[in-house]
Amino acid sequence: MKKLNIVNEIPEKFLEINYRDIKEIFDRPTLVHLKGDKEPALFISILLHGNEFSGLQIMQEILKQYQEDGSYHLPRSIWLFVGNVEAASLGLRRQDDELDFNRAWPGTPHPDAPTSRLIAEVMEKITQNELFAALDLHNNTGTNPPYGCISVVNEKNKYLSSFFNHIGMVFHTPKGVSTMAFDEICPAITLECSTPGNSLGLEKAVALIDDLMHMDHFPDKALPEHDLQLVHNSAVLKIAEGVTFGFEEENEAFELTFTDNFDCHNFTRLEKGEVFAHTTVDLPLIATAEDGTDITDTIIENDHGALSLKKPLMPAMITLDKKIILQDCLCYLLEDYR
């Protein structure tokens, strides 16, 4: 892992570059400090997952709006962290031999990993002064609407989430995620901007960042309840080790086969008994609660190979990318937050 690069300017070429070419500007993870009219600064991280490039496009659009005579006249100062440039140049989420850049923040179970040590440098630098808010920009590989993820349910975080979209997710795992690192520091949110390049996700994120750069403070009154539907992670579904899996449209024989258009279940309630996969093995999926407890038997029904849920839940972050499923998970199962 190369040492963190820290700079106080960003080249004009950044405004047009493709994420696969990002190393032409930054040959290693880079923290950029851009001075603006207002303090405290806004922290924004992009490309923590190299193939999730909406964050780059969003920051290109923001900077174009405030470019004058070859420089940037920002309403608020920004710390911009450009993360896994090596994976981005390869078109990958992460490289196989490295810790995920979004599992390496304070609270990670791997504090001595090279990526974690680099992230510790980032945190040390950006927390020397107060921060207005922290935003981590991501994409999903499956069909999902844009939504925000918060780890602490307070009024400022609820406002952040509602500014982005009317639905937000509360999460406490996995550990080492960027947003959780700011729990005691400032309002913080992960922006899941739908699939890479999705226009609605881009528009909503640009509007949110622009608003935050102009705001003097967060609203003092409580957010109206109808302005935000909060859901929380009830379980994480992973493929059991060694089980072969695929999708009906592949027309191949697998030990676990998911139904056609499986990712269309994202943010749509999956009813009790609604079959979403077929299997030839007894235990093809593992469901764990946020504390890591195995809850497969209380969540998954296997009726002679037909898999369904034992209670209604809402899947999110379903992806059809098999490599990402194995690196991360199949999906999260959500229910209303109380």
Q: Residue 334's pLDDT is what?
A: 94
**Which tokens hold the place of 190?**
């992960």
pLDDT digits (tens, 9 = 90+) for 45-92: 999 999 999 999 999 999 999 998 778 999 999 999 999 999 999 999
Q: At what angle do helices 54-65 and 199-214 cross, to 10 degrees?
A: 50
Q: Residue 144's pLDDT is what?
A: 86
Rounded to 5°, angle at Cα 56 from 194 and 145: 10
Where the chain has pLDDT below 70, the residues are: 1
Query: Position of tokens 């008994």?
Result: 273
Q: Residue 153's pLDDT is what?
A: 96
Q: Residue 291's pLDDT is what?
A: 86
Give strand pairing partners of 230: 168
3-state secondary structure (DSSP) of residue 256: strand
Q: Write down the domain spans for the chain.
A: 5-227, 233-336
- How many other C-beta atoms are found inside a 10 Å radius of the C-beta of residue 197? 12
**Which tokens hold the place of 240?**
């059991």
Q: Residue 1's pLDDT is what?
A: 63
How far is it, in rounded angstroms, from Cα 150 to Cα 218?
A: 16
The fold adopted by the segment(s) 5-227 is: Aminopeptidase (3.40.630)
67 CB-near residues (< 8 Å, 6+ apart): 12, 15
Are 296 and 119 in contact by the 8 Å Cβ rule? The answer is no
